């Protein structure tokens, strides 16, 4: 029987992962099965135990199980430990390896697909939830000139900055404190766009020609991207490339070969209108 992988989440009907991994498997000539698994709330460990007992080799993990997956893993990468969240599991005998490829996927999309370096740039991340946790270490490794976290609840940004203080100086601030500052790359990692809301980032934060990146995928021109566009941003992007790249990282981790992501990105791109 072919190796079995799956994405686990709740709800799960919206997932693109089986489609993406199906494309990757075909393009790499790999024989594997990839399905979607709706995990009952409160029964993550039992569901994963059963998947492993059935011969399952690995899982992608999505909302709301990323923290439970972190607890389930027996070995965590440094990225996953800092994120406190796991988005990919690999099963090797009794060992359960936990990884977080979200931030890596984002960095790869920005630097490789979109052609924007983070190195030496002024970078602003909006939010201080799971998405920002996942992005912090990969961003720090790119050595931006400055890295600023702005969050509605300031204490959460301050806590996160303190957690990575041994790696780099991260500026934690309120939205109001962004007045008078400009950034070359601005990332919306809040969940505001999921409800059509706008995080209160000042229009002046967008340096002329900057990249404005919405981590949410497939929402079109969100209020954040609309503001960026009206404020002189030079390039607008959403999270389609991040989605494809984090999946490619997981695929490579499991299968030992990294698929090309361009076809998947082209197929899944929703126009920003
Ligand atoms: P995720 O795992 O997707 O990052 P999360 O952990 O619930 O989700 O975090 C959501 C983030 O979006 C938080 O930083 C939240 O700000 P608070 O910490 O102040 O709650 C932010 N957020 C959600 N709605 C927002 C809005 N309308 N304006 C600004 N920030 C918002």
**Is the confidence at residue 1, as pLDDT, over 80?**
no
Mean pLDDT of all residues in 33-50: 98
* Residue 96 pLDDT: 98
* Residue 123 pLDDT: 98
Is 121 in the active site?
A: no
Ligand 1: which residue has its CA nearest to atom 6? 129
Ligand 1 pocket, 56 CB below 6 A?
no
Mean pLDDT of all residues in 100-110: 97
Residue 178 structure tokens: 């962004």
CA–CA gap between residue 183 and residue 181 (Å, rounded): 7
Half-sphere exposure of 151 (CA within 13 A, CB side): 23
30 and 149, same domain (yes or no): no
87, 125, 191: residue to mutate for ligand 1 pocket, most atoms within 8 A of CB? 191
121 and 201, same domain (yes or no): yes
Helix, coil or strand: residue 209: strand
CA proximity to 248, closest of 262, 258, 263, 256: 258
Per-residue pLDDT tens over the stretch 118-157 = 999 999 999 999 899 999 999 999 999 999 999 999 999 9
Mean pLDDT of all residues in 77-90: 94
Comparing 130 with 107, the larger pLDDT belongs to 107
Domain membership flag for residue 273: no
Mean pLDDT of all residues in 209-217: 97
Would you state the torsion angle of the CA atoms of residues 105, 107, 111, 116, taken in this order, to the nearest 10 degrees?
A: 130
CB 172, CB 143: distance < 8 Å:
no
173 and 110, same domain (yes or no): yes
* Residue 107 pLDDT: 98
Mean pLDDT of all residues in 85-100: 97
**pLDDT level of residue 258 (50, 70, 90 thresholds):** very high
Mean pLDDT of all residues in 24-33: 97
110 and 65, same domain (yes or no): no
**pLDDT level of residue 117 (50, 70, 90 thresholds):** very high
> Ligand 1 centroid vs 127 CA: distance in angstroms?
6
213 and 186, same domain (yes or no): yes
**Is the confidence at residue 186, as pLDDT, over 90?**
yes
* Residue 73 pLDDT: 98
Domain total in the chain: 2
**Is the confidence at residue 14, as pLDDT, over 80?**
yes
231 and 124, same domain (yes or no): yes
Per-residue pLDDT tens over the stretch 159-182 = 999 999 999 999 999 999 999 999
Mean pLDDT of the chain: 97
> Ligand 1 centroid vs 190 CA: distance in angstroms?
4
Ligand 1 pocket, 130 CB below 6 A?
yes
150, 152, 205: residue to mutate for ligand 1 pocket, most atoms within 8 A of CB? 152
Print the domain residue range for 126.
103-238
pTM of structure: 0.96
Helix (H) or strand (E) holding 33: strand 32-38
**Is the confidence at residue 24, as pLDDT, over 90?**
yes
135 and 202, same domain (yes or no): yes
166 and 186, same domain (yes or no): yes
**Is the confidence at residue 114, as pLDDT, over 90?**
yes
* Residue 70 pLDDT: 97
33 and 90, same domain (yes or no): yes
**Is the confidence at residue 272, as pLDDT, over 90?**
yes
Atom index in ligand 1 nearest the CA of residue 131 equals 4
Residue 59 structure tokens: 């899982």
Ligand 1 pocket, 190 CB below 6 A?
yes
DSSP 201: -
User: To which residue do tokens 């806590």 refer?
Assistant: 159
């Amino acid at each position: 029987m072919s190796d079995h992988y799956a994405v686990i989440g709740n709800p799960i009907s919206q997932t693109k992962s089986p489609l993406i991994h199906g494309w990757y498997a075909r393009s790499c000539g790999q024989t594997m099965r990839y399905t979607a698994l709706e995990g009952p709330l409160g029964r993550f460990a039992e569901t994963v135990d059963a998947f492993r007992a059935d011969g399952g080799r690995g899982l992608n993990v999505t909302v709301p199980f990323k923290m439970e997956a972190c607890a389930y893993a027996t070995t965590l990468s440094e990225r996953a430990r800092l994120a406190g969240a796991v988005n990919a599991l690999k099963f090797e005998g009794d060992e359960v390896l936990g990884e977080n490829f979200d931030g890596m996927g984002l960095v790869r999309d920005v630097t490789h697909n979109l052609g924007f370096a983070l190195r030496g740039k002024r970078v602003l991340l909006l939010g201080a939830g799971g998405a920002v946790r996942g992005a912090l270490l990969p961003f720090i490794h790119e050595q931006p000139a400055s890295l600023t976290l702005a969050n509605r609840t300031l204490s959460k940004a301050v806590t996160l900055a303190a957690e990575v203080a041994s790696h780099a100086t991260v500026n934690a601030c309120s939205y109001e404190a962004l007045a008078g500052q400009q950034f070359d790359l601005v990332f919306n990692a809040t969940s505001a766009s999921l409800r059509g809301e706008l995080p209160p980032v000042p229009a002046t934060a967008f340096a002329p020609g900057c990249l404005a990146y919405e981590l949410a995928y497939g929402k079109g021109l969100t209020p954040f991207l609309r503001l960026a566009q009206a404020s002189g941003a030079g390039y607008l992007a959403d999270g389609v490339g991040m989605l494809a790249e984090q999946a490619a990282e997981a695929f490579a981790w499991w299968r030992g070969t990294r698929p090309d992501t361009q076809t998947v990105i082209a197929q899944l791109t929703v126009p920003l209108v």
